A = this chain, B = another copy of it.
Amino acid sequence: MAEAEPDIGPDTGERITEAEHAVMEVLWARAPLSATAVAHAVGRERGWGLATVKTLLSRLVAKQAIATEPEGRRFLYTPLIARTDYLGGESKRLVDRLFGGRAAPLFAHLAEAEALTSADIAEIEALLKELKQ
């Protein structure tokens, strides 16, 4: 296990699941939204009902991943955690779990799985150049 903070941790809350992540993406894309608006957006992609999306929103609120702000009679939902932080965290988790924290093997496996486009390669080259400075 080794889940970093076992006790008090007022900051991040718990991990975001895959279904919750779909909701987060909508919120990251179009800032504060009502539950219905989120449901429309996510429901279209994933085929979820309004009730399902509401549940996911509640769970995200409980996990302190999003905040509610009253707007008239209903609430608007806004992300509390940055997309960058989430993506970086998840990426690091994968690298730690599967590759012992080393990014190079990950990269090698992506290459082997043909998950690298030439555009990717060019971009990564550019990033490397920056990192080396």
- Which of these, B1, B97, B117, B121, contacts A128 with CB under 8 Å? B121
- Which of these, B89, B108, B123, contacts A113 with CB under 8 Å? B89
A115 to B98, CA, bound (A): 14
- Which of these, B1, B89, B97, B113, contacts A88 with CB under 8 Å? B113
Chain B residues, CB < 8 A from A29: none
Is A51 interfacial (CB-CB < 8 Å)? Answer: no
Q: Classify the interface of chain A: helix, strand, loop or mixed.
A: helix
Size category of the A interface is 35 or more
Which 9 pairs from chain A and chain B are nearest by CB?
A104-B123, A88-B113, A88-B109, A103-B120, A104-B120, A87-B109, A92-B115, A92-B113, A91-B109
